[in-house]
Structures are given as C-alpha cells and as structure tokens.
A and B are shown apart, each in its own frame.
Chain A
C-alpha cells in the first residue's frame, strides 16, 4: 500500500511527484512480475438460470447470493425468490457465495438450469475468540465479557495504534492529550477509571502473551495483528490475578500458513497538520493591552511599550528596531510529511511455517527548522521493527513456536521536548526582539545572530527566544526492545485423549539512551545609530562584565543524556484437557503456572532496584451441555513479592454461566429473525499488586530509611565543614498491606438478527476494595515524616457497553457495513480516607462523588468595583473590581479551601461512543467513522494563559502570549462586563483569579469525524495483468473535523491546551499484495 496524504493546494507538486513514483513503481512491478494478458472470448455463450436454496433443514430460497463467472468480472445476484440468470459459455465455472455459507463452485456443461443448495459455513459458526494464555474458545461458548475487534478496523493513517482505539472498542474509554510524535499515546482505561489509588490504573497489555507497554502497542502494525481482544470482566481476567484487575488487552500476531510464499507490502506517506492552531491577538493589540494591564493595576506603573514603539510597529517600520513576530508562523510548519513502510512474507511447508515482517516508520514534527546549522532539530521519530514467527511440528503431537521480535525507535529532536518548544513559542514576547538578524550585520561572527532583550532595563535575565531554543542543539534518543519467545506444546493423547501440556518462555530486554548536544546562543539587540540612523547591533551575552544571561559559545557542548534498561523473564507451564462426551457434554480444563520477574534501572533507591516478581497459579474449567448451557469456573492464585509473607498470595475465583436460547428446540420458529440469542452472567474477583506510588512504594512491610539524606544533614566546625548527612524515614512498615481487589458482576446479551445485525449489550458493576491510601488524617503534631498507608478506599463503578454490527449485501452492486459502539462508565467513591468533616462541611467529603471529580470555588461573576470588594468576604491576595468573585459557601466571611465544592463533571469522560460504516458499490467503497466523548469537564489553566505574565523559575524569560479570545472579551474599566471571558488584565498572576473554580470550567464534550476513506479495488483483470493478488487505491483522512462548544483549542487535549496539538492527517494511497 502506498499512501499519500494531502491537505493544501501547495502540495500539488508533491502530489505530482508521488504519481510519478507510483507509475514508476507500477512499471517496476510489471517489469518483474507482470505477465501478458491473453484476452480470449467465447462466442457461444448461453443464459443459465436457477434458484439458490438454503442447504439446511428448511431448504428455502436465498436472497442476495453472489453468482460470479470464475476469473472474470461477470456476475449477478439472486432476487427475492432466490432466482438468478447469467450469460456464460459452457465450460466456465460459476461461483456462488453468500455471507455465512460455504462458497460453492459449479462447472457449466450444457444444462440451462442450475439449482444450488448452499451449506452453512461451519467455520463461520465456529468463530473463535482468544482467551487467556493463548487459549481459544468458540465464540458460541463464550461466557465472560470479551470484546473482539477486527484488526482491519484499526488501520488508519497514523503510526500510533493507540489513537485508533477510541470509539472502536466497546468498553474502552480512551482519549489523546498530545499530538507530539513519540509522546502521542492515548490514555485508555477498560470500563473507565476503576481505581483512584496511585498505582496501576491502565489495563494489562499482552502481545503474544508478552507483557508490553502502551508504547509497544502504539508501535504495533495493524498488518501484523491476527486477533485483538479486550478482556473486560473479572471472569475473563481473573486468571491474570496479579495484573488483571484493570482489564486485559490481548493481541496475537499473525502466523504463517503452509503454502507458497505470499508477500504483502505497504508504503505510505502522509501529510499531517495541527487540528487546531491557537489564535493569538495581533501585536498592536498585544502592546496596547500590555499597557492597559500595567495601568489598570497601578496607575503610576511605567508603560511597557511607548506610543512611539506601538506606532512605528503598526507602520511597519524597520523590523529589527521594531520587531513584530508571529512566532507560531516562524516556528511551526503548516504540515509535515510522515512515511510508513511495511513488508511481510509468509508461507512454509506443512511441518514448518513462517511469518516474517518488517516495518519502517518515520514521523516528523511540525517545527520549521531552517538550515542555519547542519544539524536538524526538528522532531523525527524513526521506528524499525522486525518480527519473525516460526511454527514447527516437531512430531505429530509436538509443536514448537519460535517468535523473535525487535523494535527500535530513533528519535531526533530539539533539546527540550516538542511540547516545551511549543510552550516557548506561545509564551514568547512577540515584539521585544526579532528571531534572528541576518549575518550581514556582523560578518565576522560564525554563530547565528539571535535576537533578544533583557526582561527589563536593569534585569539580569533575558527573554526566551523560542527560535534559538529550537535550533540551538539537538537530542537523539534510541530505544530498543528485543524479545525472544519459545512455545512448545505436547499432545498427550496416548495418556488420555484431549490432554495436552505446554510451556512458554520469553525474555525481553529494553534499553533507551539519549544524548543532547547544544551551543549557548549569542544574543544581540538592535538600536538606532544616532549618527546615520542605521541599525546597530549590541551583543548581550559575550561573557564580559556587562553581559546578561548565560554567555554564548560558538561550539557545541554535551548537554546531558540518560541511559536506562529493563529486563523481563517469563516462564509458563500449562496443562490442558478438552473432550466431548456423547457429543453433548463438552468438558475442558486448564491449569497454568507462571513465574515472571522484571528488573529495571529506572530506580531511585535500593528497594526499587530489586527484582519485581510474580507467581501465578491459575485454572479454568468449563462444561457445556448440548450447545445450550455453559458453565465456567476459573481461579487465580497469585503471589507478589511486594507484600509480607503472611498475605503475599491472593486467591481470586470467578464463575460464569450462559444460556444459548437460540439453540433450544422451541426457539426454532423465531430462528429466521433471531439467528442468535444468548444470555451471559459472570461474577468474579481479580487482584492488583501494582499499588502505591511506583517511584516510592514497594515492600510495604518494610520501612524505608535513607541513612544518607542530604536534606537532613547538619554542619559544625569553625570553618563550617564538618558535615554529616542525616537520616530520613520515608515509609513506615505495615505488614498488613496486601492486594487491591476488584469484584465484578457482568451481565451480557448477544443478539443476532436476520443474519445482518449483531448486537452485544453488557451491563456491569464493579467494586474495587482495598485501594491503598495514605492516612492523611494524622495530625502534624505526631511528627510522622511519611503518611502511613493502608488498604482502605473503596470505589464502585458501573456501566454499559454496547456494540452493534450490521452487514448486508444489498444486491450485486451494493453492499454495506455499519458499526457502532457505546461505552458508558461511571463510578462512585464509597469509602475513602479523609478528614472527619463536621456536618456543615459535609460537601467536602469525596464519598459519593466520582473518583475524578474536580473541586473548586463557585465563581459568581466579576466584581464591579473596589467598593464591592470591600463589602464581601476576603478572598485571595490582592484583587479589585474586575476580578473573580467567589461564593462563601460555609458563610464564615472568608473564602478558604473549605469553600470548595465539587464542580463540573468528572475529568475522565463517562461516555465514549463511535459510529460509522462503509458503503460499497461495485469496486468502490466509502467509509466514514465518527467518534465522540461526553460527560466530562476540564478547567482551563489560567496561569498558563494569563497574558503578559513573565515566567519564573524554569520558565524565566517566557512571557505568556495574548490569546485572541482574551483580547475579545475581558473586563476593562471602560467596559465593565461582569461575565467577560477574562477578568481585569494584569501583567502578573493575580492569585485570586487562578484558583480552581467554576469560572474556568469547560464542558469537554465533543464529536469528531475521526476517519473518512474512499477506496477503489481494481478488478481481477487489472490485478492479474500487474501480477498482483490485489490492488486498491484510496483516499483517507483522520481527525478531519470536530464539533464542540469549546473553541480555544482541540477539546480532546483538555486542560493541556497549549501543548503539542493533536494532528490531522490526509492521504491518497495505493495498496497491493503479491
């Protein structure tokens, strides 16, 4: 597949170039693999008619069966009575195909009528789902809650698989907060956030049963995926007791199939742009409002910008003396081009089969880096991966699988991450200095002449020049993941039929390192030469006495780096038994023992450096009777190294029953409408041992003491140099701490209607208990240096997952598919450790609220004037008319944290939905997919967008820009709009206005046109002439439009609005298999 993603007119040259490449590529394929097309015609064609029947018991005519002359495009579809008519020559072959039935071929001799009966496709009926530990289960006998997604659904014009999940998987809450390559993974939770402990909240990801990170998932190629399942309830996940409480994502990659080598290749190149650029006010407004901001707070304040400067800038005077930058245009490109290549080969003999695939992806950032250096500091993330799977039948009863996977990221980018550069860009003063002066100003300098200015006349600090920040150096980061996996299965039928043992072992190593190289930029300031009115430059940071800021260097320095590794070793042994007795009793059982250990260099103390280990012993037993009644029992008995010996192991049982109504004899009469009707119920428990703060907490039964703490040292001696570090106690021992437990009920119903429509609906309730918490109620007087922790909190969550699939071949030319999912998940804190609030402050209690509920003050409106301020309860810091007025909830005459109430909806969306479909006409198909999110809120971070505010600390030299939305609506002395978007301007942070409050609350609902695709599949004739097995051309786009009440930035980014924008991509592409 070769894709080109296009957006703007200016891309036409690229488009033409691409077509040229495509033609060349096509030519190449023709040259190497093409064969001459021999067109032959049969003159003595005759008309064949007939009827197609349902070959099952009823023998009724089938409507909409495709009838094709084999090897040609000649075909038709049966009508309402199952009749068809087609003109073919004798000797040709007719192919009858219909969804859910086996395809049948009939050779035409001299008959005129051919009636055909199609048999039900047993394979389709016996559709399997992947369950825990590599097992497979007939979909029919599935009891627990498992959502399976067709991997093709996950294909899209993005190099990050996690961004394709939202709205496509029922039961999964997912959102993307950043669009920066390498940092653009979506957050996802199965059935919403179901714990609020500080430990693991996201699901366990298993790729070929190897515990993987969300980045591994992001890098996975949809082409390589064989199955993608999500285990949602405890009954499905309990066997993973140690990590399964938050649900499990189970992915298997493709295996080879015996036969001739088959190749599949894909090359893609796409254009991506920001979904939404921030709208800033123009620079003249900026200066006028900066002056107003200073004066409105202090009538005697010095004006930041003189009238002359404003007028000259407006007149477009010398750009070096009166700079006026549009930093976003100068730093960010409108679009960037990404590429993706994937090739796979599979095949083999009956005894040994292989699947090999390789991937190369390039994601570029949107920084506009000019060639002032010979190094490029734009973000470029290159990703290589190689996957090789070999299945060998060692004997007739023994099989082995060897699976080797390597995944490598090469990142090149600015010293700071892309989000930081964006932050410098939107927080740069636009009129204080130009980005860079032409080198003619100072020809002898070999370094770039960056512009800058001191923060004030007597300041020792300079502004941040975002352009210099971007180009002053570069960072390279290399990540490698290598894993080797061996599976061996042995059938033990010679002991008893249906018995099998197996073992699976893998080792996985990960390493990342990064190196940064940068020079310190030289900064220059322009002034007018009074003699001849020319522009003079003055160096600001040459290191002399009057130098300001870090002195410049002409040479690169090493600017830090890091190196981290981790390793995982896994060993599994399984025992399986499957047998059917008397054709009606299906029994299966399996037992598994797993040992796994993990070690990482990402530690900050000795306790963290120790190995992480788990022991799991679990099993599952199922019994099915007559394909109608199914019962299942599973358990996990799990041990974790983190807990004290006395409660190191947790036992997590589960059971489930299901009833397939549609297989009952009495149901037969409705079978035409209800092709499938099944009820399911499960109850179970699962555990979570990754609790507490990952950076600090392990071995809760041990205290953690730092015997060499620099924070608590002391110094003595006449010369103040007899120093000894002190002792800090960072954790108190508590041997009672154990597993966080999830207890779940799931009720599901599967409905199949008219063979076209499949509906699955599930409702669930989950109670999470033993959530680890800090005992914050212990007063300061006790003098504890760390809050003791206990398994205390409880959270109850519940929700609905709904999915709907529709497939229909309307007639020979038209077919359609539709799909919709809806996930609703909400939760309620049942018990939490908090202060003992008296009755009149009971609203402060978190019990009864959502775990991600925000708290804040109730903002009533803006103050009209100082007099009103004087006559209302005291608020925060200095404030006056035009600042936010809060409600004194507890009526004590002062606004304090005790006046904070729950505001808005949860920050994690409660409702995620997606819907879309495909319509096909002949060789064309059109797909559209919408995705939405509802029932969540966020707060704008007012500190981040307070205009004209100078940064402090690490942000020194940054100055917040003026968003157009603020310039358009703010309280001013002339326009006392009590409900303006922005309060009275100020050039410093007004503490009163940046409190968490309903003023900044925003609704986070949105609906997005996630994906749109128009495709054309070349006819077999053309395909064959090119020597290909298939060929398809299509145009598609992702994140094309969004509807939301919030307009300042992409609503999916939430409060992180001035970060790296979410990307839209556009493409036009071709795909071929050979």
Chain B
C-alpha cells in the first residue's frame, strides 16, 4: 500500500521534470519583429506609409506654426477651444523650458504625427526603411522598379523632415545613418552639422529621388498624394531659395553659432552663387511641372451651368486654385492633412451666413489682421499707399456699397473705406462685415450670402470661444461647395496643398531678380500670376497708377514688388511667416501692432474702431530661430543653443 502510494506520488514528478526544460519557453514563433516587416511587399508597404505618417500636418490650424506664429491671422486666445501653442509664439511667450510648438521634442503641438512623437523618429524610420529595402534579399515579391521608387520616396521624406527641422532650428544634426540602440552613451550625443553641409546633403537626397520618381501619379485612386519627381524638384527649389536668402546667406548674426569643438555652423559670407543654383533649381522645377501638365488654375465657368459674372469667376479662380481637390495647379497635395470636419481648417475659417447657421461648423476663428487687409493691392494692381487714384489714409471712414459693387459687397451696406476699390484677391480671400460670400448652393445668385459681423449679428463675435478676433474672415481656405444643414454643415474635402505652381513662379522670379535684376523673364512670371488675379502686368500697372512708377525698373524696387506679390498671392497659406524670417524682415514687420475692428461693437460707430489685440515684440536675432529646450541641452551636452535663447 505505502509503496503504491509513493509511486503514485512520484509519477507526476517524473512527468513534470520531463517537461521542465521547455516550461519557461512560452513565446511562440511568429511574433512581430522589425525583420518580419521586410519579408513581404504587403507589410513593407505599411512601413513605407509609416515613413509618410510623419508628414507635417500643415493644413491644420494648430499644427502649422506658419499660420499663427506671425501676424497673418489671429485666433481667440481662449482655452475652452483648446490651446493654440503657435499663437503663444506670436504673443512673445516663447520659452526655453517646455518651448511652445516644440518640433524638436515633439511637444506643444509640434509633435509628429501627434504630440509625444517626434519628427526625429520619422527620420529614423526612413533610415531603417532605406537600409532594409536596399538589401535585395528583403521583400522578394516586389519589382525592382517599385523597390527603387519606394526608396526614392523615402529619401525624399528624409530630406523633407530634415528641412522641416532646419526651418525652425537652422543648423541641426544630420542623421545620415541611425545610431544603434546598443551604442555606448557618448555616441547618442550628436552635435549640429554646419547648415550648408546639411543643405548639400538633403539636396543630394532630393536629386537621387527625383532621378527615380515618376513625374506624375498614374494611379490617382490609390497613389494620389505620393511623391513625384516634380515634387522633389519643387522642394529642392524652395530649399535652395531659402538657403540663398538673407537669413542664411551672409548673416553676421549667426557668427556666434559655433559647435563646442569649434566648428562654425554658418558661413557668414554672402555668396551670390547660392542664388544662381536656386534659380536653376526653380526653373528646372517649373519646366518639369509644366511638362507634367500643371498650370495656373482658372475656373471653368461652363462647368457650372450658372450664368456667373466675370468678377465672380475671377474670384473662384483664385479660391479654387487651393481648395479645389482637383486643382491642376497643386504640385504637392498632402493627403495626410485634410481640411474637412468640425475641427478642420475649413470649419475654423467658415462663418455663419444666416441666423441659425451652426457655429460648430462655422467657427470663424481664423481672423486675418488689418495688416493683411492693407497688404492687398487696389483694383489698379498697386499697393494702397502708392495708388494715385485712391486715399486709404482714413480707414475709419465708411461708405455705402454701390450696385456695381454688389458681387463683392452687399448692395447698400456700409463698411470701411479699406474694403472698397480693392483687387479681386482681396475679395476672394477675405470676408468682412458686409462682404459677399459666394457658395455654390447660392446657385447662380451670387449675391445670396453675405457677412454681417457686428456684435449680435449672425456672423458676429458673441460666441464664448468660437468668435472672430478682427472682423476679417478667411474665405480663401473654404471650398465653395460648402453647405449648411439643419444640424451642421458639410465641407468639400481637399488635401492641404504643400506647394503650388504660383509659389514656384514667385520663387523663380525672386531668385532671378537677385541674379539679373529686372528682366522680361522676371516680369513674365509675375504677370502670369497677376493676370489670373485679374490685374494688369507689373510695369504697366505701376506706370499708370503708382506714385512711384519706376519702382519695377530697379532690382530693389522689383524685389519689394515680388515680396509683396508673394505675400498677397500666398496669403493665409502659412508662407508669410517663413518668408519674412528668411528675408530678415521679421524684425520690422513683427514689431507692429496686431489690429482688428472692434468686434464687441454692435453698431457702425462702435464696430468701426481699430482695436489693438496685441503689441508685438520680435527680438532679433533671437526670434528668428526656435529655442532648444533646456532639458535637451542638459541631455546632450554637445548641442549648442540658438542665439539669444
């Protein structure tokens, strides 16, 4: 009996110890690892998309510092509607502890693709992808052509992500190869690379990419938004123009930027050749774009079936160049940054046009400043300060809209002098108290909707946080097919245009003027843009209407005209801030007052008063670059801080 029991007891022990060896091996085969991703095309495609996922969301009001860090537009500084951290920069509150819109550490709305994630991660993914895909034994089921194309796309992204960082921080460490996770600690302390070396490296990547990529997307159903050679060449043009601009080309302020090992980070001597290679790149990009069928957008009146006036058609050409999802002017649509939805860019710009329109889809928080309203030309195509025919000195003067102005301003409505006699782009881009807002659902009746913006009126600013700060509204960013419904509204979605042809033309004109001064070629690119905007050419407009008629004939005068043309044409697209920085004009422009109409006024007398929203204080040279956070500097002692921070 006892012996039997002992055996019974011993039996399970024998069983257990037989199995014991493997007892702790619980991990089955087939767990996901990085290596497994590169076994099949289907999985590798996801990795390609991962590289794309870090694309900056520049079509998002909160995630494009260009919108809010300068003086182009304002938003209510009101926490109930969530924070706008780029606005904190415009308010002069940037700081080294937890910097706002911190792209470097991926915090305060500077994170990609979301806060807590950094664009540096995207660069690391790009390197992993390029390294793995370059090994032909990986992803055996992909064709060599497609493999090359994918690698080229990721090289482009790697270049773009570096450039995006350089825009904010100037010289940065260039991550050509990843640092291994297991590397000893000192190898993590990378230092900045000289700016020009960085530019050379990323231009090299773009050249390699452009050589392989297709010029146009054939399969628009699944690939629209992917990178083409035209995009690569266009970005190259933008980067080289930036590098040739005064901020980076011979800027003595940057002589203090020296690495801890003594390496200077900037060449502080001006080099004219930088403009030359920039102009060549811009021309190459324009030629490639035009060869790919891209051209300045013109609205096709016939497609509507409505009998629209020329005034309206011109305005639609201007608006739809950006907001038409099929605009043939857009070189680079960013499909990672769409603009519809209740919290989208279009809803932030849209205003209620009737009592009862829902403020959730018509938030009207994007508030262009009076500075921007003054920037646009007169209907003679010259600046308001130069036009011989008009006097805009007293903008508090009110006037009543005449019948022939009814396609721009509600007939009989009284509004500021500033809002009369302006160029079509003023009326296309801006809304204001009394201005028309033509939408497709007005059908042929172009005078159906208009803004009434005084306090208590339907577009007025009485909502606690969805209100307009300046009395100017941004029509430019809203597609004309927007409709209201009982409980909200719907927007025609469009992908944010990172780059369009007009931008390239202006970059080329700018670079060419720096090399050659005024020439017919420079004028021709400007005039093509002015023509689409319903204006005469530069030379004839200035000759006929300006009190400074010879301005376009000198290099300096033309530079000023090109810059103004650029700021008007690309208004509210988040370009002005970066342009003013690279021209080193920020210290003049961003020390002005941010102004709007008195949105709390409920009648003409009280509403048409100038209200100063913020007194700007741009400190040079400090505010030309983002600060590195103080913790980044403690963490990596080889990094040097930007000047003034």
Residues of A participating in the B interface, judged by any CB pair closer than 8 Å: 394-395, 397-398, 456, 458-460, 488, 490, 492, 494, 501, 503, 545, 571, 573, 593, 595, 606-607, 610-615, 639-641, 648, 699, 702-709, 711-720, 722, 724-729, 732, 734, 776-785, 788, 835-838, 841, 874, 894, 896-898, 950, 952, 988-989
Count residues of chain B with CB under 8 A from any CB of chain A: 90
Flag B208-227 by CB within 8 Å of A: 1 or 0 each: 00000000000011111110
Which of B185-193, B235-243, B591-599 is the interface stretch?
Answer: B185-193
A717 CA / B188 CA spacing, docked (Å): 39
Asked if B635 and A779 make an inter-chain contact with CB atoms under 8 angstroms apart, the answer reads yes
A702 CA / B637 CA spacing, docked (Å): 31
A613, A709, A784, A785: the one contacting B26 at CB < 8 Å is: A613
Asked if A718 and B6 make an inter-chain contact with CB atoms under 8 angstroms apart, the answer reads no
With a cutoff of 8 Å between Cβ atoms, the chain A residues found around residue B113 in the complex are: 711-712
Asked if A615 and B20 make an inter-chain contact with CB atoms under 8 angstroms apart, the answer reads yes
B2, B33, B173, B226: the one contacting A716 at CB < 8 Å is: B226
With a cutoff of 8 Å between Cβ atoms, the chain B residues found around residue A719 in the complex are: 221
B32 on the interface (CB 8 Å rule)? yes
Asked if B50 and A726 make an inter-chain contact with CB atoms under 8 angstroms apart, the answer reads yes
Asked if A610 and B27 make an inter-chain contact with CB atoms under 8 angstroms apart, the answer reads yes
Asked if A835 and B493 make an inter-chain contact with CB atoms under 8 angstroms apart, the answer reads no
B180 CB, nearest partner CB in chain A, Å: 10
With a cutoff of 8 Å between Cβ atoms, the chain A residues found around residue B220 in the complex are: 717-718
A648 CA / B378 CA spacing, docked (Å): 79
Indicate whether A783 sits within 8 Å of B631 (C-beta atoms), given known contacts A610-B27, A717-B221, A718-B325: no
A464 CB, nearest partner CB in chain B, Å: 16
B302 on the interface (CB 8 Å rule)? no
A648 CA / B26 CA spacing, docked (Å): 13
Asked if A641 and B336 make an inter-chain contact with CB atoms under 8 angstroms apart, the answer reads no
5 additional contacts, CB 8 Å, given A490-B2, A699-B27, A835-B634? A713-B46, A720-B335, A777-B635, A779-B632, A782-B178
With a cutoff of 8 Å between Cβ atoms, the chain A residues found around residue B495 in the complex are: 720
A395, A595, A713, A950: the one contacting B23 at CB < 8 Å is: A595
B253 on the interface (CB 8 Å rule)? no
Indicate whether A896 sits within 8 Å of B97 (C-beta atoms), given known contacts A641-B24, A718-B220: yes
With a cutoff of 8 Å between Cβ atoms, the chain A residues found around residue B338 in the complex are: 720
Smallest CB-CB separation from B82: which chain A residue? A952
A734 CA / B271 CA spacing, docked (Å): 49
B479 CB, nearest partner CB in chain A, Å: 14
Asked if A716 and B223 make an inter-chain contact with CB atoms under 8 angstroms apart, the answer reads yes
Asked if A707 and B20 make an inter-chain contact with CB atoms under 8 angstroms apart, the answer reads no
Asked if A718 and B122 make an inter-chain contact with CB atoms under 8 angstroms apart, the answer reads no
A716 CA / B113 CA spacing, docked (Å): 16
The number of A-B residue pairs with CB atoms under 8 Å apart is 229
Smallest CB-CB separation from B103: which chain A residue? A780
A494 CA / B37 CA spacing, docked (Å): 63
With a cutoff of 8 Å between Cβ atoms, the chain B residues found around residue A728 in the complex are: 50
A725, A838, A896: the one contacting B96 at CB < 8 Å is: A896
Asked if B335 and A707 make an inter-chain contact with CB atoms under 8 angstroms apart, the answer reads no
A494 CA / B1 CA spacing, docked (Å): 13
B45, B117, B464, B631: the one contacting A458 at CB < 8 Å is: B464
A715 CA / B335 CA spacing, docked (Å): 6
A952 CA / B79 CA spacing, docked (Å): 9
B228 CB, nearest partner CB in chain A, Å: 12
A705 CA / B32 CA spacing, docked (Å): 6
Asked if A716 and B224 make an inter-chain contact with CB atoms under 8 angstroms apart, the answer reads yes
A724 CA / B226 CA spacing, docked (Å): 13
B45, B117, B188, B359: the one contacting A779 at CB < 8 Å is: B188
CB<8 Å pairs between A and B, sample of 6: A711-B114, A717-B223, A726-B46, A779-B636, A781-B120, A784-B124
With a cutoff of 8 Å between Cβ atoms, the chain B residues found around residue A837 in the complex are: 634
With a cutoff of 8 Å between Cβ atoms, the chain A residues found around residue B188 in the complex are: 777-779, 782
Flag B347-387 by CB within 8 Å of A: 1 or 0 each: 00000000010011000000000000000000000000000
B108 on the interface (CB 8 Å rule)? no
With a cutoff of 8 Å between Cβ atoms, the chain A residues found around residue B98 in the complex are: 896-897
A783 CA / B1 CA spacing, docked (Å): 69
Indicate whether A726 sits within 8 Å of B34 (C-beta atoms), given known contacts A779-B635, A780-B104, A897-B98: no
B31, B43, B630: the one contacting A607 at CB < 8 Å is: B31
Indicate whether A615 sits within 8 Å of B23 (C-beta atoms), given known contacts A714-B52, A780-B118, A785-B117: yes
A897 CA / B97 CA spacing, docked (Å): 7
Asked if A610 and B28 make an inter-chain contact with CB atoms under 8 angstroms apart, the answer reads yes
B53 on the interface (CB 8 Å rule)? yes
Shortest beta-carbon contacts, A-B, top 3: A783-B124, A896-B97, A726-B50
A490, A613, A717, A727: the one contacting B24 at CB < 8 Å is: A613
B33, B182, B189, B225: the one contacting A703 at CB < 8 Å is: B33
With a cutoff of 8 Å between Cβ atoms, the chain B residues found around residue A494 in the complex are: 2
B13 on the interface (CB 8 Å rule)? yes
B486 on the interface (CB 8 Å rule)? yes
With a cutoff of 8 Å between Cβ atoms, the chain B residues found around residue A989 in the complex are: 79
Smallest CB-CB separation from B53: which chain A residue? A712
Smallest CB-CB separation from A300: which chain B residue? B600
B305 on the interface (CB 8 Å rule)? no
A780 CB, nearest partner CB in chain B, Å: 5
A708 CA / B46 CA spacing, docked (Å): 8
B13, B79, B118, B356: the one contacting A783 at CB < 8 Å is: B118
B404 on the interface (CB 8 Å rule)? no
B511 CB, nearest partner CB in chain A, Å: 32
Indicate whether A727 sits within 8 Å of B37 (C-beta atoms), given known contacts A779-B188, A836-B637: yes
A397, A707, A734: the one contacting B43 at CB < 8 Å is: A707
Indicate whether A780 sits within 8 Å of B16 (C-beta atoms), given known contacts A705-B33, A988-B79: no
B522 on the interface (CB 8 Å rule)? no
Indicate whether A726 sits within 8 Å of B33 (C-beta atoms), given known contacts A490-B9, A717-B221, A894-B95: no
B605 on the interface (CB 8 Å rule)? no
Indicate whether A611 sits within 8 Å of B26 (C-beta atoms), given known contacts A716-B224, A722-B223, A729-B34: yes
A402 CB, nearest partner CB in chain B, Å: 16
A715 CA / B46 CA spacing, docked (Å): 11
A615 CA / B23 CA spacing, docked (Å): 8
B197 on the interface (CB 8 Å rule)? no
Indicate whether A782 sits within 8 Å of B124 (C-beta atoms), given known contacts A722-B222, A896-B96: yes
Smallest CB-CB separation from B1: which chain A residue? A395
Smallest CB-CB separation from A785: which chain B residue? B121
A397, A702, A718: the one contacting B27 at CB < 8 Å is: A702
With a cutoff of 8 Å between Cβ atoms, the chain B residues found around residue A777 in the complex are: 185, 188, 635
Flag B20-56 by CB within 8 Å of A: 1 or 0 each: 1001111110011110110000010111011011010
Asked if A595 and B47 make an inter-chain contact with CB atoms under 8 angstroms apart, the answer reads no
A57 CA / B471 CA spacing, docked (Å): 106
Asked if A717 and B224 make an inter-chain contact with CB atoms under 8 angstroms apart, the answer reads yes
B487 on the interface (CB 8 Å rule)? yes
With a cutoff of 8 Å between Cβ atoms, the chain A residues found around residue B276 in the complex are: none
A724 CA / B121 CA spacing, docked (Å): 19
Smallest CB-CB separation from A835: which chain B residue? B634
With a cutoff of 8 Å between Cβ atoms, the chain A residues found around residue B20 in the complex are: 595, 615
With a cutoff of 8 Å between Cβ atoms, the chain A residues found around residue B189 in the complex are: 779
Asked if B5 and A714 make an inter-chain contact with CB atoms under 8 angstroms apart, the answer reads no
A458 CA / B360 CA spacing, docked (Å): 11
Asked if B631 and A835 make an inter-chain contact with CB atoms under 8 angstroms apart, the answer reads yes
Which of B25, B45, B225: most chain A CB closer than 10 A? B225
A841 CA / B356 CA spacing, docked (Å): 58
With a cutoff of 8 Å between Cβ atoms, the chain A residues found around residue B32 in the complex are: 606, 704-707
B345 CB, nearest partner CB in chain A, Å: 15
Asked if A898 and B97 make an inter-chain contact with CB atoms under 8 angstroms apart, the answer reads yes
Asked if A713 and B49 make an inter-chain contact with CB atoms under 8 angstroms apart, the answer reads yes
A300 CB, nearest partner CB in chain B, Å: 9
B179 on the interface (CB 8 Å rule)? yes
A19 CB, nearest partner CB in chain B, Å: 57
A648 CA / B495 CA spacing, docked (Å): 52
CB proximity to A under 8 Å, residues B87-104: 95-98, 104
With a cutoff of 8 Å between Cβ atoms, the chain A residues found around residue B178 in the complex are: 782-783
Smallest CB-CB separation from A716: which chain B residue? B225
A417 CA / B457 CA spacing, docked (Å): 44
